[in-house]
Amino acid sequence: MAAAGSSLAAAWRVRGQTFDVARRALVMGVLNVTPDSFSEKGRYADPGAALERALAMVDEGADLIDVGGESTRPGSATVPVDEEIARIRPVLERLVPACKVPISIDTRKTEVARVALELGAGVLNDVSGLRADPAGGGHERARLAAMHGAGLVLMHMQGEPATMQQDPRYDNVVSEVKGFLFDAARRAGEAGVARESIALDPGVGFGKAFEHSLALLRGVGDLAAAGYPVLIGVSRKSFFAKFELALDQRLEAGLAAAAVCVLRGARIVRTHDVRATVRALRVVEALL
């Protein structure tokens, strides 16, 4: 096993539940309740349709469902906080009692995080790595996650979604992203988040040219060696456009990337294609 070592994460604690991530990698199903996400394009904006999709993903083997009320695809504009809350609230009210797996909230906004955690979300997926809402918001989001015993995903993003893909630059992308994530994890710890509740994500395609994302995917083992579960989201992303694959042609490519990342030590795979990913990863785990 490429990145196997005693320093890999053994557990991820998520609101009273401890995932044994040493045994197998987790699959996080994507549920975007937005009118404009790059892949779903509004299909699950209705809470009834969102619940149906969530239950289907649980049935397919999802370990978590990640609900997002704001698209962060390249070029997207930010959504007002009230609007984001209005999108996620009715969905979480239905999902939390109905799903047997933890629900994650994908947001950069402190007030959205607060509402979602109060409604029972088990994970805060902060795609800004505690950076957004700078006047104390990052600290407050971490404090809220700590108070609810929630899992906290810290993702790296350079810039803002509206402009992040225009000219991303790094001297050394792997060490810069790693440094940012370790610092975010330290700040989360200072706000009271338990080390075993923190997961790190290099943020494929978030302020990264193709070569930057490629270097980060190759460097997953290095990041995983720090002992935090590493989350990877490549599913259907424009990273695969370099391989001349249109949006509806990226399934096999996404599975290949997920398999290699898990082989290198990633422990959580965020995907739109739950059934296929679960099937592929069960084989990968058996072969490791």
Binding site for ligand HH2 (CB under 6 A): 30, 32, 34, 37-39, 68, 71-73, 106, 125, 127, 153, 155, 201, 203-204, 231, 233, 270
What residues does 261 pair with on adjacent strands? none
Closest CB to ligand HH2 among 38 and 182?
A: 38
Closest CB to ligand HH2 among 17 and 238?
A: 238
DSSP string of 162-214, one letter each residue: TTTTSS---SSHHHHHHHHHHHHHHHHHHTT--GGGEEEE--TTSS--HHHHH
Is 178 tagged catalytic? no
Catalytic, out of 109, 114, 131, 237: 237
Tell me the C-alpha distance between 253 and 257, whole Å: 6
Q: Is the dihedral of CA 136, 138, 142, 144 positive or negative?
A: positive
**Are the C-beta atoms of 181 and 127 separated by less than 8 Å?**
no
CB of 35 to ligand HH2, least distance (A): 10
CB of 286 to ligand HH2, least distance (A): 26
**Residue 147 to residues 15, 30, 142, 253, Cα–Cα distance (Å):** 10, 25, 9, 39
Closest CB to ligand HH2 among 5 and 211?
A: 211
CB of 107 to ligand HH2, least distance (A): 9
Closest CB to ligand HH2 among 168 and 203?
A: 203
Is 108 tagged catalytic? no
Tell me the C-alpha distance between 215 and 135, whole Å: 32
- State whether residue 224 is helix, strand or coil: helix
Q: In the complex, which residue's CB is closest to ligand HH2?
A: 233
Cite the active site residues: 237, 270
